[in-house]
């Protein structure tokens, strides 16, 4: 396994997920961030490393 951040990879699914999350949270501010995060992980078929990255950096503190 590589020590690179998932953002440094060529993962188009992760990039699509990040864009979708940003758009969804902007258009639907009432939606919980955790719900959007979980939906993105499923919708874009992210691997465990990508899911961990999103959880670490985008879940609510």
For each of the chain's 61 residues, which pLDDT tens digit applies? 455 554 555 678 999 999 999 999 999 999 999 999 999 999 999 999 999 999 999 887 5
For the chain, the structural domain boundaries read 8-58
Asked if residues 59 and 34 have their Cβ atoms less than 8 Å apart, the reply is yes
| Angstrom distances, CA of residue 51 to CA of 18, 33, 45 | 11, 14, 9
- Which residue in this structure is represented by tokens 């899911």? 51
pTM of the predicted model as reported, rounded to 2 decimal places:
0.77
The two three-digit tokens of residue 44, written as one number: 């874009």
Share of the chain residues as helix, strand and coil, in percent rounded to the nearest 5: 65, 0, 35
- Which residue in this structure is represented by tokens 């499923």? 42
The two three-digit tokens of residue 28, written as one number: 């639907």
């Amino acid at each position: 396994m590589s020590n690179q951040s998932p953002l440094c990879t060529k993962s188009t699914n992760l990039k699509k997920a990040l864009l979708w999350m940003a758009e969804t949270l902007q258009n639907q501010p009432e939606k919980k961030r955790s719900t959007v995060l979980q939906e993105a992980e499923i919708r874009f078929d992210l691997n465990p490393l990508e899911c961990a990255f999103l959880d670490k950096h985008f879940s609510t503190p």
